[in-house]
Amino acid sequence: MVKELLTGNKATAYGAMLARAQVIPAYPITPQTTIVERIADLISEGRMETKFVKVESEHSAMAAAVAASNTGARAFTATSSHGLALMHEVLIWAAGARTPVVVVNVNRALGPPWSVWADHQDAMAQRDTGILQFWCENNQEILDTVIMAHKVAEDPDIMLPALINQDAFFLSHTSEPVDVPDQKMVDDFLPPFNPKEKLDVDDPKGFGSLVMPPQYMEFRANMARSMDRARDLIRKVDKEWEGLTGRSYGGMMDMYRCEDAESILFGAGTMMSTAKDVVDDMRNEGRKVGIARLRIFRPFPVDEIRYLADSVKAIGVMDRTYTFGQGGPLYNEVNAQLYNHTNQPFTKNYVIGVGGRDVVPRHIRSLFDDLEKVRENGYGEEGEIHWWGLLDGKTPREEM
C-alpha cells in the first residue's frame, strides 16, 4: 500500500479505478466536478480501462449507467445536489431493474437560495428509492467504500444500486493522507461483475417490462428482502476488508466510545469525525459520552440503534438537513426504531450545519450539555427539535 495526499474527489476516482469500473457516464456539477476530471485523466494516462460516456444531464448519466449494468458491465457514476435530484427517477429504476450501479454523491445543499456547501438533503431525499446508502467521514473511507459498495451491491442475493455520500468541501476538496490499496489485493477482494441475467443481442430477453398487479407486489417484496439481507453482508464485507487492510468502519454503524456511555450523539458525515475529538476531551473530564456515526442509512441500522438504546440514557440526533413538516430525517428514523423497543432512551433533535455552516468542537460540547440538561428538566417551551445556532436567540449566543 502507498500513502498519497488525496482530496475526497481524487479518492473517489481512485476507488473507481481500483474497482475496475468498466463504464462511467457522468455529468459535472460543483463540487463533484474534479471527480469527473480526475477519472478522465486516469483514462487518458492509460491507468483505467473504462468507457467514459459524455452525457447531457445527470438523468442521462444514470440511465446510461443502468443500461451498461444491464449488459453485465460494472457501472459507476458521481454527482451532487441538484444532479442527484435529477437522477431520482432513474435511481428508482436502477433499484427495480436490480442493476448494482455505484454512485458517489458529494453532499451539497439544494437551492434556492443557491448554495454549493455541505448539506444532507440531497441524499436523504433518495431514502425511498431502493438504493443502498453508505456515509463517509474521511477520504480513506470514501476510497475503501467505493470498492466495498460494489461488492455488496453486486452480490447475487442483493443486486441493488449503492449511493456513497461524502460532504462537500469538508471531504471533496480536502487533501489528507490516504492508503491506496494494491490492485492485486482489490482484484482478489472484488471479482469481476458477472450477473446471472444480462442484455445480450445473441440471447434476447425482456427487462423491465409491464407486470400485472399480482406480480408487481411480489417484485417489490423481493427488493425489500434483498435490502434487509444487505445488513449481514455489509457486516461481513467490512470484516473481510478489515482483515486485508486493518480498516473497519463498524459494519452497519460506527460506534465510538459508546460502551459505557450515558449520552450519545448520532449523526452523519464529517461533523461526527470532529465530534470524536470532543468525546475524548470530555471523557478525560469524566463525562460518559460517545458518538454513534451513521455508516449505512439504507438499510437502516435497526439492531445497532436498539443495542444502544439498551444501555444509554439519552440520544441526541444531529441532522444536517430537515424533513419539512416534522423533525430531521435521522431523528424520525431513530424514534421509529425505539417505539416498539423495550428500552426507550430520551431523544432530542439537533438540526445543525445546514447549507455548510461549520460544525466546530464547541458546538458538540454544547449539544452534550444541552442533551443532559433537557433529559433532567424536560424539553420546555422549545420542544424536541432545536435548530442549533439560529439568530432567533434560542441557542445561547456564546455557544453559537
Partner 1 sequence: MIEIRFHGRGGQGAVVASKVLADAAFRENNDVQAFPYFGVERRGAPVTAFTKIDDRHIRNKAMIYEPDYVIILEASLISAVNVTEGLKDNGLVLVNTKDDPDEMAKRLGVKRAACIDATQVAIDNKLGSKFQPIVNTAIVGAFSSVSGVVKKESVVNAILALPRYAERNAQAARDAYDQVRISGGA
Q: Could you tell me the smallest distance in angstroms from the CB atom of residue 254 to partner 1?
A: 12
Q: Is the CB of residue 250 less than 8 Å from the CB of residue 276?
A: no
Task: Sort 194 into a burial class: Cβ within 10 Å, 0-12 / 13-18 / 19+.
Answer: exposed
170 binds partner 1 (CB under 8 A): yes
335 binds partner 1 (CB under 8 A): no
271 binds partner 1 (CB under 8 A): yes
* Residues 6+ positions from 346 with CB-CB distance below 8 Å: 313, 314, 315, 371, 374, 375
Task: Using DSSP, state whether 294 is helix, strand or coil.
Answer: strand
Q: Could you tell me the smallest distance in angstroms from the CB atom of residue 286 to partner 1?
A: 21
Q: Could you tell me the smallest distance in angstroms from the CB atom of residue 393 to partner 1?
A: 22
Cell of 369: 450539555
The Cα–Cα gap between 102 and 65 comes to 9
Q: Could you tell me the smallest distance in angstroms from the CB atom of residue 112 to partner 1?
A: 16
Q: Could you tell me the smallest distance in angstroms from the CB atom of residue 65 to partner 1?
A: 27
The Cα–Cα gap between 231 and 133 comes to 11
19 binds partner 1 (CB under 8 A): no
In this structure, what are the phi and psi dihedrals at residue 62, rounded to the nearest 5 degrees? -70, -35
27 binds partner 1 (CB under 8 A): no
311 binds partner 1 (CB under 8 A): no
**Cβ distance to partner 1 smaller for residue 269 or 329:** 269
Provide the 10 A C-beta neighbour count for residue 214: 7
Residue from 276, 283, 288, 313 that binds partner 1 (CB under 8 A)?
276
**Cβ distance to partner 1 smaller for residue 94 or 171:** 171
* Residues 6+ positions from 384 with CB-CB distance below 8 Å: 327, 347, 348, 349
248 binds partner 1 (CB under 8 A): no
Task: Sort 398 into a burial class: Cβ within 10 Å, 0-12 / 13-18 / 19+.
Answer: exposed
Q: Is the CB of residue 222 less than 8 Å from the CB of residue 101?
A: no
Nearest to 343 by CA among 372, 297, 305, 289: 305
DSSP 114: P
Nearest to 65 by CA among 103, 100, 25, 37: 25
**Cβ distance to partner 1 smaller for residue 175 or 183:** 175
| Segment interacting with partner 1, rule: CB under 8 A, options 123-131, 172-180, 184-192, 224-232 | 172-180
Q: Is the CB of residue 82 less than 8 Å from the CB of residue 53?
A: no
Provide the CA 340 distance to its chain's centre, in angstroms.
Answer: 26
Residue from 34, 270, 321, 347 that binds partner 1 (CB under 8 A)?
270
The Cα–Cα gap between 301 and 167 comes to 21
Q: Which amino acid is at 274?
A: T
Q: Could you tell me the smallest distance in angstroms from the CB atom of residue 265 to partner 1?
A: 14
Q: Which positions from 106 through 165 interact with partner 1, judged by CB under 8 A?
A: 116, 137-138
The Cα–Cα gap between 106 and 145 comes to 14
Count of residues engaged in binding partner 1, rule: CB under 8 A: 24
| Segment interacting with partner 1, rule: CB under 8 A, options 202-210, 236-244, 303-311, 352-360 | 352-360
Q: Could you tell me the smallest distance in angstroms from the CB atom of residue 297 to partner 1?
A: 19
| Segment interacting with partner 1, rule: CB under 8 A, options 233-241, 247-255, 265-273, 368-376 | 265-273
**Cβ distance to partner 1 smaller for residue 14 or 169:** 169
DSSP 251: T
Q: Could you tell me the smallest distance in angstroms from the CB atom of residue 280 to partner 1?
A: 9
Residue from 359, 367, 371, 374 that binds partner 1 (CB under 8 A)?
359
Q: Is the CB of residue 266 less than 8 Å from the CB of residue 335?
A: no
Residue from 135, 169, 189, 350 that binds partner 1 (CB under 8 A)?
169
226 binds partner 1 (CB under 8 A): no
| Segment interacting with partner 1, rule: CB under 8 A, options 78-86, 175-183, 215-223, 298-306 | 175-183
- Site residues (vs partner 1, CB under 8 A): 5, 30, 116, 137-138, 167, 169-171, 173-177, 270-271, 273-274, 276-277, 358-361
